[in-house]
Amino acid sequence: MLLTVTTTHRPATDLGFLLHKHPQRVQTFSVPFGEVHVFYPEATEERCTAALLLDIDPVGLVRRGRGASSFALAEYVNDRPYVASSLLSVALVNVFKSAMAGTCKGYEELAASAIPLEASLPAVPARGGESLVRRLFEPLGYDVRVAPIVLDPKFPEWGEGAHVGLRLAGELRLAELLNHLYVLLPVLDDDKHYWVDEAEIEKLMRRGEGWLGVHPERDLIVRRYLKKQARLYFPALAKLDEAAPPVEEPDEPGREEQLEERVSLRDQRLGTVQSVLKSSGAKRVLDLGCGAGVLLERLMREEYESIVGADVSVRALEQAARRLKLDEMHDAQRQRITLLHSPLTYRDKRLIGFDAAALVEVIEHLDPPRLAGAEQNVFGSARPGTVVVTTPNAEYNVRWETLPAGQFRHPDHRFEWTRGEFATWAQGVARRHGYEVRYLPVGPDDPQVGPPTQMAVFSR
């Protein structure tokens, strides 16, 4: 992993003073995850380049029990030794401590003045692509050059990967450049190699002083820098608001609106499910595939005698238990709710004897061959009086501009049905198991493609 910083300020070799590293020497420093070498490939009056070579020890980097990845070998086969990540940030504060603080004994004026600087990084993990790179650095006054990296020249059809070569040029103080890199490289990477806690807020405030508060991507930077932990980034944002009055942020109406629409669609979906359950007169209800318990939470506020949430994922059930605060519930409340670990495709006799069941955005997560098993379990064995099923309407997908054609809304979806496909399935179910079925739209009912979510209500 290499970072080079070049200046054309005269005399360029003053860079050595600013960095506190002599241009004629090759120096090596030790950091917890390897070694840092600093040397100067060029050092003339006109042009001076300092290089920081971070030699990461991959074996030392491996730590057991780090977050579950779908790729079991991610700890061993990864890009960390080769790319600019939070490891580089740590190396920077280790090696260029005074430069980052903007102090330089005897050269105070130079340290305080903007000089022409160019930073170059051969491989930067850019989650968010070139556009995010530009959105992060251009507002800070850099001329940004992004060089895509092809995945494998032997297989050109694979295209480009998630890494880019990055060159930033601008006229600014060296400390500013280093602090920008310190904060923004891990933000681009969207990862940190260490545990993030409250202390991280302080670091961000210090390194972001003077620029972060007014950065148009402030919120994104703060969120990513603090590993998307709400307990950290909300306080951090509040601090920034105190420090600098909020400026008019150029909104991105498209994304905002889309987000809002999505949230309200979920609300509408759950609300519709609630209405249907309520109007069925059910006293005992099932939420099959309850996930983290969003619907359960709403159902608990209504007057059901017994509510059962079932899910195949033990983790989801744990989340649901936390969301519902099961541990702290009073006995009378606690008796109304039960969480069951139950895979929909295996018959579960504990689901028998309920008035109504909801399957909200569940069936599309089942492999089509397993659908018949789930059908038997719900309609053949459990046989609640009313069954509400919601699933995406595939036809509506064309209305979502950000969703590439032919792609599902969620990577785990095994299928997304058109209204016709859904109706065919639902009618078959109704016929096989003696139910009647009616359909309700959820969300705006588009005249051409129908509503974003389709709902079938089975009753017998």
Residues in contact with another protein by the rule CB under 8 A? 1-2, 4, 24, 26, 37, 39-43, 49, 51, 53, 55, 57-59, 71-74, 76-79, 81-83, 120, 122-123, 125, 149-152, 154-155, 158, 161-163, 165, 312-314, 341-350, 365-367, 369-370, 373, 376-377, 380-381
Question: Which pair of tokens denotes residue 382?
Answer: 């459990």
Partner residues linked to 374 by β-bridges: none
Nearer to another protein, 141 or 380 (CB): 380
Residue whose pair of structure tokens reads 């929909």 in the numeric block: 344
Q: How far is the CB of 202 from another protein (least distance, A)?
A: 31
Reported residue count of the chain is 460
Q: How far is the CB of 393 from another protein (least distance, A)?
A: 22
What residue type is assigned to position 119 of the chain?
A
Q: How far is the CB of 247 from another protein (least distance, A)?
A: 36
Nearer to another protein, 65 or 253 (CB): 65
Angle (CA) 153-125-27 rounded to 5° is 100
Question: Which pair of tokens denotes residue 300?
Answer: 């608990």
Residue whose pair of structure tokens reads 């990864």 in the numeric block: 78
Q: How far is the CB of 434 from another protein (least distance, A)?
A: 14
**If DSSP codes are grouped into helix, strand and coil, which group holds residue 20?**
coil
Question: Which pair of tokens denotes residue 27?
Answer: 């120096």
Q: How far is the CB of 134 from another protein (least distance, A)?
A: 20
What residue type is assigned to position 220 of the chain?
L
Nearer to another protein, 100 or 123 (CB): 123
Q: How far is the CB of 12 from another protein (least distance, A)?
A: 14
Whole-number Å distance between alpha carbons of 67 and 75:
10
Q: How far is the CB of 248 from another protein (least distance, A)?
A: 38
Distances (CA, A) of 254 to 215, 274, 311, 401, 451: 20, 30, 34, 10, 20
Nearer to another protein, 312 or 456 (CB): 312
Nearer to another protein, 246 or 368 (CB): 368
Whole-number Å distance between alpha carbons of 136 and 142:
10
Nearer to another protein, 121 or 236 (CB): 121
What residue type is assigned to position 2 of the chain?
L
Q: How far is the CB of 96 from another protein (least distance, A)?
A: 17
* Through-space distance between the first and last CA atoms of the chain, rounded to whole angstroms: 66
**If DSSP codes are grouped into helix, strand and coil, which group holds residue 210?**
coil
Nearer to another protein, 185 or 366 (CB): 366
Nearer to another protein, 342 or 454 (CB): 342
Upstream peptide bond of 186 is cis (omega within 30 degrees of 0): no
Residue 350 has φ and ψ, to the nearest 5°, of -70, -15
**Sign of the CA dihedral running 437, 441, 445, 446:** negative
